[in-house]
Structure 1
């Protein structure tokens, strides 16, 4: 469960920005949040802003932190940290560290984690947890200094400290070496956080392959039944979804390809999703016809990837980060998918959805509380800022957010300077 996320000096986010997922002191939409032992937390948050305003950059910062936690223990000596993407339009910022911070709950324990990193090393790393209102340090690491350990840290210290390279996170290295005291914090990034900055191309294809395998290997599972029901419910014209094993003979490999690569590719493409549509005669259904997914519309193909990750999030209680949730979808379908997270009878495991969109119609459906809506915009220096709708003066519960946003009264709308273009076109 996510409580807060802060970003500084990452891509266009030069100055610190923070997304707070805890409920503000507003009334209404009681199904849009849930209560835990210590917090009242929002189920969804949506980000609006012009193209290139910083929406994707903010969501990609989640991916950067996830990547460092899960992969940095394998980084090689003196290699650069690929996630280092500082703000480049300021001579001072381009040499400063990226700073990321996250407050989250894992296994009913609240953690606070901060990571600062430059191109070749971790500059600062600190993990604490809360017992009631009291914050207790697990460890604190600063470049050039010995790691400071709190009283609640249990496990090897100096040995793992020596094993941790400058470009590796201590959290990652410690869990790799079986430090149980840090395992729940690590599991949040490994099993609870799911980041998809943009589902397209190979990422979309890989997701479809993943769900084809799940459908084929356990067609009667709860996930398979719900996946089928979701795809068929959204006016796709599909009456059933299944997965079938492909014929290995259809794949032609060069003689020079290594055997392990051939086996890996055959396993990856072992199953194909088939969609079934009703065939009619005189208005009555007489049979069903199978289609390849490639024959379906762009929106339907996107649903095979998006629908799967949404169902997994709801079943497992994931924190799901998605850019352009509405890609190729009708606004009513997007609304339906968002509202799944606002239904306690469906979202029983407190899943959260954070996404960016250009679909302004979602602001007109009375879906969100004002503390769930965020805006991102750039200033004249190219630096992005992010602010919450509930913090804008004059915005009330009955404010028509879609109309105000399109009129520019909420900010974060594109400024089109077309004079030179129009002159050039008329020349």
Structure 2
């Protein structure tokens, strides 16, 4: 699980940001549920305030760790500094996987890695390795196999090491690589990606066909959304080439007596229904395997009453046994009342520079656990609202 992460000189964050999902001793037990880290985090703010950049930073860190190895040593690294600054962009992430806590640090330009470091917390924070440009300046004895590899200026040391398929490569590297491979959603290192292009409805249908439990839970969410849908079936068929494909049909409750008239195909359904059908795949696959789900504009096409139901899936240990985490941006105001001050970040911008803060960092007692937050935000008392 992610404890915290941050970036500096990244898009509109000149002096940087730090986002913490860690609960402190002041967090009420009914919110923490005895967890040390929150499984959900909402990010709010005005349009163009920099909300999406926070998700992009986390996606970049994940992607760089697991999939940055390139054959082309001249291929640029996909980052952007504050107003195209040529100074290095800095990242860090503090996380836990398989019961072991790590800190990963990276300083990088579009041309090269300036510094990369990995720490492991045993009784205290202990350095495992440090790299400056293409030279390993420190490593523990257990990582001596790294001496056999050639570093590339545009690739992470973890992904590079695993590309060499060295037999005695560190178990730490394998665990970290496996963890960040499970980062998914509609956010790329460069921005929002239409989830319809990421998850084809046929692929989603196949997943539901082969995972009856997830299929039943998905149907329950859709039925509770008051879309007029009473049943969903996944059909399995073969095309002229003998290839198997899957597709859904949706049964509606109406006054038409002809049975076939009650069924609609995927393409006949509303955008809201098809979006929910696709995105529930992302939620369930994340909950099943663990990892990180990043959703920009989480509430698009959703009725506000549906949002808490989805968040509950991540908060409930029965539906989230592997401690998956869900980070999202949203324009919905009422969701702040559901999240509360310990799970909500506000992003604001002044003179072109973004900054962010968790609501419990606001001094004083303006925000109380037993009172709604949305009204305070709407009245501009918390910041992070558009100037209209």
TM-score by length of 1: 0.81
- The yes-or-no answer on 1:105 pairing with 2:79 is no
Shift of 1:304: 1.2
Partner of 1:362: 335
- The yes-or-no answer on 1:392 pairing with 2:362 is yes
- Does structure 2 conserve the Cα–Cα contact (< 8 Å) formed by 1:103 and 1:112? yes
Which whole-Å CA distance do the structure 1 matches of 2:42 and 2:255 have between them? 42
- Does structure 1 conserve the Cα–Cα contact (< 8 Å) formed by 2:129 and 2:136? no
The partner residue of 1:176 within 143, 147, 163 is 163
Which whole-Å CA distance do the structure 2 matches of 1:33 and 1:374 have between them? 20
Partner of 1:348: 321
Shift of 1:13: 1.3
Partner of 1:142: 132
In structure 2, relative to structure 1, the CA distance for the partners of 1:344 and 1:144 (3 Å cut) is closer
Partner of 1:275: 250
In structure 2, relative to structure 1, the CA distance for the partners of 1:204 and 1:234 (3 Å cut) is farther
Map 1:218-237; keep pairs closer than 5 Å: 218=210, 221-237=212-228
CA RMSD of aligned residues (A): 2.5
Map 1:248-259; keep pairs closer than 5 Å: 248=239
Cα deviations by residue, 1:37-78 (Å, 9 ceiling, x for unpaired) = xxx111211111000000001111112122212221134122
The partner residue of 2:145 within 156, 170, 178 is 156
- Does structure 1 conserve the Cα–Cα contact (< 8 Å) formed by 2:130 and 2:138? yes
Instruction: Give ranges in structure 2 of 5+ residues lacking alignment.
Output: none
Partner of 2:289: 316
Partner of 2:5: 5
Which whole-Å CA distance do the structure 1 matches of 2:259 and 2:29 have between them? 46
- Does structure 1 conserve the Cα–Cα contact (< 8 Å) formed by 2:205 and 2:247? yes
Indicate the SS of the match to 2:69.
helix
Which whole-Å CA distance do the structure 1 matches of 2:262 and 2:7 have between them? 50
Which whole-Å CA distance do the structure 1 matches of 2:219 and 2:198 have between them? 18
- Does structure 2 conserve the Cα–Cα contact (< 8 Å) formed by 1:33 and 1:41? no
Cα deviations by residue, 1:349-387 (Å, 9 ceiling, x for unpaired) = 2222111111001123xx22312111001111x110011
- Does structure 2 conserve the Cα–Cα contact (< 8 Å) formed by 1:228 and 1:241? yes
Partner of 1:420: none
Shift of 1:248: 4.0
Partner of 1:119: 110
The partner residue of 2:47 within 41, 47, 51 is 51
The partner residue of 1:72 within 68, 72, 85 is 68
- The yes-or-no answer on 1:84 pairing with 2:55 is no
Shift of 1:348: 2.6
Larger Rg: 1 or 2?
Answer: 1
In structure 2, relative to structure 1, the CA distance for the partners of 1:199 and 1:246 (3 Å cut) is farther
Indicate the SS of the match to 1:141.
strand
- Does structure 2 conserve the Cα–Cα contact (< 8 Å) formed by 1:11 and 1:88? yes
In structure 2, relative to structure 1, the CA distance for the partners of 1:34 and 1:186 (3 Å cut) is farther
Partner of 1:16: 16
Partner of 1:413: 385
Cα deviations by residue, 1:289-347 (Å, 9 ceiling, x for unpaired) = 33122222222111012211112222223222211111111110012211222223333
In structure 2, relative to structure 1, the CA distance for the partners of 1:95 and 1:281 (3 Å cut) is closer
In structure 2, relative to structure 1, the CA distance for the partners of 1:232 and 1:317 (3 Å cut) is same
Indicate the SS of the match to 2:363.
coil
Indicate the SS of the match to 2:226.
coil
- Does structure 2 conserve the Cα–Cα contact (< 8 Å) formed by 1:31 and 1:342? no
- Does structure 2 conserve the Cα–Cα contact (< 8 Å) formed by 1:69 and 1:169? yes
- Does structure 1 conserve the Cα–Cα contact (< 8 Å) formed by 2:195 and 2:279? no
Which whole-Å CA distance do the structure 2 matches of 1:406 and 1:9 have between them? 30
- Does structure 1 conserve the Cα–Cα contact (< 8 Å) formed by 2:185 and 2:282? no
Indicate the SS of the match to 1:148.
strand
- Does structure 2 conserve the Cα–Cα contact (< 8 Å) formed by 1:78 and 1:120? yes
- Does structure 2 conserve the Cα–Cα contact (< 8 Å) formed by 1:34 and 1:350? no
The alignment covers a number of residue pairs equal to 379
